[in-house]
Each structure stands twice: as C-alpha cells, then as structure tokens.
Amino acid sequence: QCQLNGLWRNEQDSLMEISVLRDNGDFQGKYLTRVTLSGGCAHISPLKGAQQQPGEGGWPTFAFTVHWDKFSNATTAFVGQCFVDAGGKETLTTMWLLREAVGSLEEDWKATR
C-alpha cells in the first residue's frame, strides 16, 4: 500500500514533505517550490489535505492545498492518486489549479491556471 507520509520530489525539483498523516486520512506538511511566478528563489509554504482511505487492494486518492503566503497571493489545489509499481516504488500522480488574487471581477478570466 502506498504511504503519503514522507518526502516527495517532482519533475521541477520541488519538494513536498507530509509529516502528519492521521488515522482519518487528514494530513499536513510543507511544500518547497522551486517554481515561482516571480522567478525568485525557493520558498516553503504550508499544506493541508485529506487522503481517501482505499478499499482492499486499492490505491489511495488525495487532495491538498498549498497557500503561498510568503511570496505570492495565490493558492494551489492538488488532487491525485498514489501508486506502487512492481518494484515497490511509490509514485504520486497529480493535477493542480492555481488561483491568484485579482483586483476586479473583470480580471477574473486570468486568475486561474
């Protein structure tokens, strides 16, 4: 079975550490992104999420949010699933939406990536 707790690295060399995984599936940790909208240096931001407890033989799905509070006025929501291959390697697959704050309703069209 795939375990979300621990340290994860993505293709852009960003790191995610899930340090608390509760019995009910709630988790928290931190995200160190190497990708920023401003092109600046890496920043650590808090994350909170929940894991759907899989049925027998299933792979868990999960969702979490990251609030980029130190360097951006944006929040990102991730959803994904955890898999284990035949060699025992754990892999997370995710999709994300990033929402930036904008100054008006007329600018709403450009706020979500």
The CATH number given to whatever domain includes residue 43 is: 2.40.128.30
Q: Determine the 3-state secondary structure of 57 from DSSP.
A: coil
Indicate if the pLDDT at residue 38 is higher than 60. Answer: no
Q: What is the pLDDT of residue 49?
A: 95
What is the residue range of 83's domain?
6-110
Write the pLDDT tens digit of every residue in 51-104. Answer: 987 666 678 899 999 988 666 788 899 999 999 889 989 999 999 999 988 999
Is residue 1 in a domain? no
Q: What is the pLDDT of residue 71?
A: 67
Please state the pTM of the whole predicted model.
0.82
Share of the chain above pLDDT 90, in %: 42
The enclosing H or E element of 31 equals strand 26-33
d(CA 108, CA 46): 25
Number of domains in the chain: 1
Is residue 70 in a domain? yes
Residue 112: φ, ψ to 5°: -115, 135
Q: What is the pLDDT of residue 41?
A: 63
